[in-house]
Structure 1
C-alpha cells in the first residue's frame, strides 16, 4: 500500500493541514516527505497518522488483500465465461476504487477492467481504457505489459481486424518471457487463424486450448473451442473429426440452450452435411437452427440464405424463390449488401441465366473481391461463371475465371 499518497489523499479530503496532522507525531517536513513518497516512514508513524485521520492501518492492509482477491476472482470469472457472475465481482471492485490507486494493484486493476469491458462487449469504453493505459505503459511490470498487449489483440479481434491481432499474438507467442501457456491465449490464436482462413493453424492452436480447458474443467470454454475446431475441421475437409465435435456439442443440448450456442451448432452441422453432399440432412439442421433464432438475430439471415441455396440445389424452385425473396428483403432492410446481392443473383437465375451471370460478373464478384473476406464464396462463383462461359463456347473467359480460383 502506498501509505504516503493515501495519507495525503485523506488529509486533503478532510481539510486538515500538514501541521495539524503532524502535531505530536512527526515534523511537518518529515510528513511532507512521507506524503510525496520521498521518505519511507516506520509502521508506528504511519499508524499514528492514519489513526488521527480515523483510518485503521490493519483495515487498509486488509482492503489491499481484498482487492487482490477480487482481481483474481474477476479474472477467473472471465476465463470461465461466467457472464452471470462477473458483474457482481466487478461491482465490489468499483466500490473500492477510492482505495485502489494507493495499492500496488493500481495498474493491474485498470488492465483487468480493460478485459472486463471487452468481455462485456463495451467496445467504446474499452477503447478509452486502452488509451488511458497506454499513457501509463512505461510503469508496467512485465506481466502487466503482457496483459496490455493481449487485451489489445482481443480488442482488434472483436473489431474484425484479424491481421493486426494476429501480428500481436504472433509476437507474444514467440516471446518466451510471456505467459503463452494460457488456454484463452491459444483460443484467441485459433479464433484469429480461423478468421484468416488458416484452418491448419486454427486446428493446432484450438487443440492446445482444448487440452488446457479440459485440464481446468472449464466447461463453457470447452464448448466454444469444440465449436471452433468443428468449423475448422469442416473447412479443412476433415469431416469425421468435425462431425464428432458437433455431435458432442449437440449431446449437451440442455446446457447449450442456456448458453445460446445450439442454433450456431445446428447451422455449422448443416454446413458440414452440405459439404459432405448430404443436402437433405443439411436442410434438417439448418431448419432446426432457424427455428431457435429470432428474426432479429444477426445470424438469422445467414441460415435463411443457406436454406434457400439448398432448396435451389434440390430443384425446389418455388420454395427457393420464396426464401431468396425474404433474404433479399431482410438484407435490404438491414443494409447487408452481401446477402442482398447473392439472393438477387439466384432470383435472376431462376428467370434468365444470361441476366444472372451478367449480374454475377458486374455486381456480385466485384463486391466479394473488394471486401476480401469471402474466399469460399468467391471460388464457388468463379467456378460457376467459368462453367457458364465454357458452355457458351467462350473458353478464354472461362479459363480466366478458373485461374482466379485459389
Structure 2
C-alpha cells in the first residue's frame, strides 16, 4: 500500500491542512515529502498520521490483502462463467474502489474492470476503459501487458472483427507460450477460427481447451467448448461427432434449465439435421429454438429465416411465405440487410422464377460476395443459378457458376 498518497487522499477529503495533520507528529515539509512519496516514513509516523485521520493502519493493510484476494477470485469466477458470483465480487471491489489506486493492484483492478465490461457486453463502456488503460500500458507488468492485449482480442471478437482478433491472439501466442496455454485463451482461439471458417484449426484449439476445462471441472466452459466443436464437426461433415456433441449439450442444458444456451444448441442441432437432409427433425429443433428466443433479435431472425427455407425446400409454400414476410419486416426494423435481401429473393422466386433469378444475380450474389462472410450461402446460390441456366440450355452461364462452386 502506498501510504503517502493515501494520507493525502484522506486529508484532502476531510478538509484538513498539512499543518493540522502534522502538528505533534512530524514537520510540515516532512509530511509533504511523505504525501508525494519522495520520502519514506517509519511505520510509527504513518500510524499516527492515519490515526489522526481516523483511519487504521492495520485496516489499510487488510484492505490491500482483500483487494488481492478479490481480484484473484474475480478472475477465476469469470473464467468459470459464474455470473452471480461475478456480480457479488464486483460489488465488493466497488465498495473499496477508493483505496485501490493506493494499492499494488491498481492496474490489475482496471484490467479486470475491462474484462467485466466485456463479460457484460457493455462495449461502449469497455472501449472507454480500453482507451484509459492504453494510456497507462507503459507501467504494466509483463502479466498485465498480456491481460491487456488478450482482453483487446476479446473486445475485437465481440465487435465482430475476427481477423484482427486472430492476428492479435497469434501474436500473443508467439510472444508468451506460458500465458497462452490456459483454457480461456485456447477457447477464444477456437471461437475465432470458427468465425473465420477454419474448422480444422477450431477443432484443434477446441480439443485443447476442452481438456483443460474438464481437468478444472469448469462446467459452463465445457458446454461452450463442446458447442464450438459440434459446430465445426458439422461444417467439416463429421456428422457422427457433431451428433455426440449436440446430444450431450441438449441433455445437460435441459437438465440444468440453461435457458441462455438452449436456443443456440437447438438451432445448431437443427442445422446439423438439415445438413444430413433430415428436414423434419431439423424443423422440430428450429421450432424449439425459436420458441425460446426474444422476438425482436437477430438470432430470432436467423432461425425464422432458416425455418422459411426448410418450408420452401419442402414445397410448403404458404408457411414459407409467412416466414419470409415476417423476416423481411423484422429485417427492416432491426437493420439486417442480408436477411432482407434473402427473404425478398424467396418471396419473388415463389411468384416468378425468372424474376427471382434476376434478383438473385443482381442483388443477393453481389452482396454476399462483397461481405465475404457467407460461404455456405454463396455455394448454395451458385448451384441454384448453375442448375437454372443448365435447364434453360444456357451452358456458358451455367459453367460460370459451376466453376465458382468448385
* Shared fold per TM-score greater than 0.5: yes
Structure 2 residue 45 is matched with structure 1 residue 45: yes
CA contact (8 A) 1:162 1:192 kept: yes
Q: CA deviation at 1:172?
A: 0.6
Q: How do residues 262-301 of structure 1 correspond to structure 2 at under 5 angstroms? A: 262-301=262-301
The equivalent residue for 2:154 is: 154
**Which residue does 2:243 correspond to in 1?**
243
Provide the rounded CA distance (Å) in 2 between the counterparts of 1:253 and 1:142: 38
Question: Which deviations, in whole Å up to 9, do the C-alpha atoms of 1:82-138 show, x marking residues without a partner?
Answer: 222322211111111111110001111000000001101111110110111111111
Q: Is the 8 A contact 1:172 1:178 kept in 2?
A: no
SS at match of 2:298: coil
Q: What are the equivalent positions in structure 2 for 1:87-126 lying under 5 Å apart? A: 87-126=87-126
Please tell me whether residue 334 in structure 1 is matched to residue 334 in structure 2. yes
Taking a change above 3 Å as real, the CA distance of residues 259 and 290 of structure 1, as seen in their structure-2 partners, is closer
Distance 2:327 2:78 in 1: 36
Higher alpha-carbon deviation: 211-220 or 292-301: 292-301
Deviation at 1:334, TM superposition (A): 2.8
**Pairwise CA distance, 1:178:** 5.1
- TM-score, structure 2 length as denominator? 0.96
Partners of 2:378 and 2:169 in 1: CA distance: 28
Distance across 2 between alignment mates of 1:191 and 1:259: 21
Tell me the secondary structure at the aligned position of residue 16 of structure 1. coil
Aligned length: 406
Asked if the contact 1:75–1:112 (Cα under 8 Å) also holds between the matched residues in 2, the reply is yes
CA offsets 1:332-391 (integer angstroms, 9 cap, x no match): 333322112112212222222211110100011111112221111011111111221122
Structure-2 residue corresponding to 1:15? 15
Map of 1:323 onto structure 2:
323
Q: Tell me: CA distance 1:375–1:3, structure 2 relative to 1, closer, same or farther (3 Å).
A: same
Instruction: Write out per-residue CA displacement over residues 263-290 of structure 1, whole angstroms, 9 at most, x where no aligned residue.
Output: 2111111110111121122122112222
**What runs of 5+ residues in structure 2 fail to find an aligned partner?**
none
Pairwise CA RMSD: 1.6
2-structure distance, mates of 1:171, 1:205: 16
Mean Cα deviation higher: 70-79 or 361-370: 70-79
Partner of 1:304: 304
Output the TM-score relative to the length of structure 1: 0.96
Judge conservation of contact 1:349–1:355 (CA < 8 Å) in 2. Answer: yes
User: 2: CA distance between counterparts of 1:67 and 1:339?
Assistant: 48
Mapped pair 1:354 → 2:330:
no
| Offset from partner CA, 1:4-44 (integer Å, 9 cap, x none) | 11112122222333333233333333222222112222222
Moved segments of 4+, more than 6 Å: none
Structure 1, 104-113 or 301-310: larger mean CA deviation: 301-310
What is the aligned partner in structure 2 of residue 173 from structure 1? Answer: 173
Query: Which is worse superposed, 259-268 or 226-235?
Result: 259-268
How far residue 54 of structure 1 moved from its aligned partner, in angstroms, is 1.8
SS of the residue aligned with 1:87? helix
